[in-house]
Amino acid sequence: MLILLNKPYGTLCQFTGEGATLAGLVPVPDVYPAGRLDRDSEGLLLLTDDGALQARIAEPRHKLPKTYLAQVEGVPGDEALTALRTGVTLKDGPTRPAEADLAAEPEGLWPRDPPIRVRKSVPDSWLRLTLTEGRNRQVRRMTAAVGHPTLRLIRWAIGPLTVEGLAPGAWREATAAEVAALRRPAPRVGGAGARRNF
């Protein structure tokens, strides 16, 4: 079984603990998150009871691309985008090349609760970032390293699967075709890549 969940802001990626957890959202026994999303991040979380599939999704050696929408302070220019595309040096070493493009806010994007902090003197913009590794708070550290701190972070896609059509807290079971697509080798990621309209 594979479940697609739109994890809301403020929810922990575990079934036990204080505060909002997955237990209040997914009443399905014996499924576990394949990878994590921080409490203050939103978007697609996959849960499964299949150990091999969990490893395929979560382990960096498989280089499964994960796409994020990051609302950041300021408007990144060519220099910042080039740095994100070629790799940013963080405290735990350089990142792999990523796809990085300015993006429009997706149509019909759900509001965050609570809203992000807004500074009237500083504009904000959206980035689409596709990574093939999953270090702790990596997107936030990458955007901060190029001078554009992340205000809101949404994981939009894992491989071919997206959160599109799922409201915060909603989930659905993946189709057989989606599971098969997820098991296929990941495409190469790096550089500017093809632009997407979201």
- pLDDT above 80 for 192: no
**Could you check whether the bond before residue 168 is cis, i.e. omega within 30 degrees of 0?**
no
Domain, as residue range, for 136: 2-183
Give the mean pLDDT of the chain.
91
136, part of any domain: yes
Q: How many domains does the chain have?
A: 1
Q: Is the Cα dihedral 183, 171, 106, 37 positive or negative?
A: negative
Active site residue 38: yes
pLDDT band at 61 (very low <50, low <70, confident <90, very high): confident
The rounded distance, in Å, linking the Cα atoms of 198 and 101 is: 11
198, part of any domain: no
Owner of token pair 């809301």: 8
64, part of any domain: yes
135, part of any domain: yes
Looking at residue 117, which CATH number applies to its domain? 3.30.70.1560
176, part of any domain: yes
Q: Of 38, 40, 49, 50, which one is the catalytic site residue? A: 38
Q: What H or E segment, with its residue span, contains residue 55? A: helix 51-58
150, part of any domain: yes
190, part of any domain: no
Tell me the per-residue pLDDT of 171-188, one tens digit each, with 9 for 90 and over.
999 999 999 999 887 666
Q: What is the mean pLDDT of residues 144-171?
A: 96
Whether 46 and 4 have beta carbons less than 8 Å apart is answered as yes
pTM for the model: 0.91
142, part of any domain: yes
- pLDDT above 80 for 198: no
